[in-house]
C-alpha cells in the first residue's frame, strides 16, 4: 500500500490544502464564499459535512498536486540546491550523493529517496524525517495559499483611487512570507541532518542500492534525460485509480437521475460527469503504464505527472459542480458556483495540455534514444 501512496498522511495533506484555501478565500471574498457554502449544504445529492469534506479533499488534492509539481519540484528544490551549493559549500544530502556516488544532478533526489525507503534506514529515523518534512511542507502550502488568494486582492485594492485600508491582508501576507522563510531554513536544517545520517551508512551497500542511478550511461538519454522513475509511475497510477473510482461513484446520481425522471439537463450533466471522469481515470492509468518508457529530466517528469493529476482533479471538480448546480462553467461570469466550475475547467484544460505535450516530448526522446532494431527488454 505504501508503494502507491495510499497513506493517511496524503489524505490529511489534501484535506489541509482544501481547508487552508477555504480560510484565505473566505477572508478575501467572504460574500461569494458564503454563497458557495450555502449552496453545498442543502443539496440532496451532496449534503452537509460529508459533502463539504469531499469537495474540500478534491480541491485540496488539486492544489496539492499543483504545489508539488510546480512550486516544490520546479522552484523550491532548485532554490535549495543553489543555496547549499553557493552559500553552504554543498552541505546537503543530494549534493553529497552527487559527489560521492557519481549520481547525476537530476537523479540525486530520487537516489536519496531510494536510500531512505530501503532497509538501510532505521525505521525511527525514517519516520522522524518524514514527520519533519511533512511539517515543513504544510508551512510551504500555507504560505503559497496565502500568496495566491490574498496577493491579487492587495494588488487590486491598491489600483483603486483612493485605496481602501486593508491592514489584515498585509499582515497575513507578511505572515505568509515569514512562514516561507521559516520553512525554507527548516528544510536546509533537515537536509543537513539527512546528509549526516547518510554519511554513517555502509558505503558499499549504498553503492549497490544506487547501481542503476550512479552510472549516467544507464538509463540516461543522449539529450540528458533519463527514463521516468518507478515512483512517478506509481503516483500517476494511484491518482488515476482514485479518479476512476470517483467516476464510478458519479454513476450513482446518474442512475438516480434517469430512474426518477429528472430534467434532461441534469441527466446530461451527470452522464458527462460519470463518463468523463471515468475516461480521465483510464487515461491516467494508461499513461502511467507506459511512463517508465519515456525519457525526461526529473523536473519535466514531475511536471508531467502533477500537471495531469491536477488536470484530472480540476475536471472532476468541474463535473461535480456542473452535476449539482447545472452550470457549465465555460465563462468567468455569473454566480460564484459557475465561477468555481470555470476555475476547475481551466485547471483541467491547462494541466492536460501541458501534460500531454510532455508525454509527446518524452516519447519522442525515447524514440531517439532507442537504437534501431533493439529488442524490447
Is this model's pTM higher than 0.75 or not? Answer: no
Q: Which parts of the chain fold into alpha helices (H)? A: 8-28, 30-40, 48-66, 77-87, 93-101, 105-116, 123-158, 167-199, 203-209, 211-214, 230-249, 251-259, 264-290, 298-325, 336-369
- Gap between the Cα atoms of 346 and 62, Å rounded: 12
CB atoms within 10 A of CB 102: 13
User: Distances from the Cα of 88 to the Cαs of 80, 85, 151, 171, in angstroms?
Assistant: 10, 6, 32, 32
C-alpha cell at 293: 518508457
Instruction: Please write down the long-range contacts of 214-221, taking CB distance under 8 Å and 24 or more positions apart.
Output: 214/101, 214/102, 214/103, 214/111, 215/102, 216/102, 216/104, 220/104, 221/295, 221/365, 221/366, 221/368, 221/369
296 backbone dihedrals φ, ψ, rounded to 5°: -150, 155
DSSP state of 218: S
Find where cell 516561507 sits.
Answer: 180
Whether the Cβ atoms of residue 235 and residue 5 lie closer than 8 Å to each other: yes
User: Distances from the Cα of 253 to the Cαs of 62, 97, 268, 301, 326, in angstroms?
Assistant: 23, 52, 11, 36, 13
C-alpha cell at 10: 496524503
The separation between the first and the last C-alpha atoms of the chain, rounded to the nearest angstrom, is 27
Query: What residues does CATH 1.20.1420 cover in the chain?
Result: 225-368
**Residue 171 CB burial class (10 angstroms; 0-12, 13-18, ≥19):** exposed
Residues 73-97: b if buried by 16+ CB within 10 A, e if exposed? bbebbeebbebbbeeeeeebbbbbb
- Gap between the Cα atoms of 59 and 27, Å rounded: 17
Rg of the chain in Å (alpha carbons): 23
- Gap between the Cα atoms of 313 and 239, Å rounded: 9
Whether the Cβ atoms of residue 297 and residue 226 lie closer than 8 Å to each other: yes
pLDDT in tens, the chain (377 residues): 444 444 666 677 777 877 887 787 777 777 766 766 666 555 544 445 566 676 677 777 777 777 776 777 777 877 887 887 776 666 688 888 888 888 877 678 888 888 988 888 999 999 899 888 888 888 888 888 888 777 766 665 555 544 455 556 667 778 888 888 898 889 888 988 998 999 999 888 888 888 766 544 444 544 445 778 888 889 899 999 999 999 999 998 888 888 888 888 888 888 999 999 999 999 999 999 999 888 888 778 888 998 999 999 999 988 988 888 778 788 777 777 788 888 888 889 988 998 999 899 888 888 876 655 455 44
**Nearest partner of 169 among 148, 153, 180, 188, judged by Cα:** 153
Coil, helix or strand for 226? strand
- What is the pLDDT, as a whole number, of residue 280? 95
The full length of the chain comes to 377
C-alpha cell at 252: 450513482
- Across the strands, what pairs with 296? 226
- Gap between the Cα atoms of 228 and 350, Å rounded: 22
CATH fold of the domain at 225-368: A middle domain of Talin 1 (1.20.1420)
Amino acid at each position: 500500500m505504501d508503494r502507491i501512496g495510499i497513506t493517511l498522511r496524503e489524505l490529511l495533506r489534501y484535506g489541509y490544502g482544501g481547508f487552508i484555501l477555504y480560510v484565505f478565500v473566505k477572508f478575501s471574498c467572504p460574500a461569494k464564499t458564503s454563497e458557495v457554502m450555502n449552496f453545498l449544504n442543502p443539496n440532496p445529492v451532496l449534503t452537509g459535512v460529508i459533502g463539504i469534506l469531499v469537495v474540500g479533499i478534491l480541491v485540496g488534492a488539486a492544489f496539492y498536486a499543483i504545489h508539488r509539481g510546480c512550486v516544490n519540484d520546479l522552484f523550491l528544490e532548485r532554490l535549495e540546491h543553489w543555496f547549499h551549493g553557493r552559500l553552504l559549500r554543498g552541505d546537503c544530502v543530494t549534493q553529497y550523493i552527487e559527489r560521492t556516488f557519481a549520481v547525476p544532478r537530476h537523479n540525486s533526489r530520487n537516489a536519496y529517496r531510494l536510500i531512505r525507503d530501503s532497509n538501510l534506514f532505521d525505521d525511527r529515523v525514517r519516520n522522524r524525517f518524514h514527520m519533519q518534512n511533512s511539517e515543513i511542507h504544510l508551512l510551504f502550502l500555507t504560505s503559497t495559499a496565502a500568496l495566491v488568494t490574498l496577493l491579487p486582492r492587495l494588488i487590486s485594492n491598491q489600483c483603486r483611487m483612493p485605496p481602501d485600508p486593508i491592514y489584515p491582508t498585509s499582515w497575513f501576507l507578511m505572515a505568509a512570507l515569514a512562514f516561507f522563510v521559516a520553512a525554507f531554513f527548516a528544510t536546509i536544517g533537515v537536509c543537513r541532518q539527512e546528509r549526516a545520517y547518510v554519511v554513517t551508512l555502509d558505503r558499499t551497500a549504498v553503492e549497490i542500492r544506487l547501481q542503476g542511478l550512479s552510472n549516467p550511461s544507464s538509463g540516461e538519454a543522449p539529450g540528458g534525460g533519463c527514463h521516468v522513475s518507478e515512483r512517478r509511475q506509481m503516483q500517476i497510477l494511484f491518482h488515476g485509480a482514485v479518479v476512476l473510482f470517483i467516476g464510478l461513484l458519479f454513476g450513482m446520481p446518474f442512475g438516480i437521475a434517469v430512474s426518477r425522471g429528472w430534467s434532461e439537463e441534469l441527466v446530461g450533466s451527470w452522464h458527462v460527469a460519470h463518463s468523463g471522469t471515468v475516461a480521465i481515470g483510464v487515461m491516467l492509468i494508461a499513461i502511467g503504464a507506459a511512463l517508465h518508457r519515456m525519457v525526461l529530466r526529473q523536473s519535466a517528469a514531475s511536471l508531467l505527472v502533477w500537471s495531469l493529476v491536477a488536470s484530472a482533479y480540476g475536471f472532476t471538480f468541474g463535473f461535480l459542480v456542473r452535476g449539482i448546480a447545472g452550470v457549465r462553467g465555460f465563462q468567468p461570469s455569473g454566480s460564484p458556483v459557475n465561477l468555481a466550475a470555470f476555475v476547475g475547467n481551466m485547471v483541467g484544460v491547462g494541466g492536460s495540455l501541458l501534460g500531454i505535450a510532455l508525454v509527446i516530448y518524452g516519447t519522442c526522446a525515447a524514440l531517439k534514444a532507442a537504437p534501431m532494431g533493439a529488442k524490447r527488454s
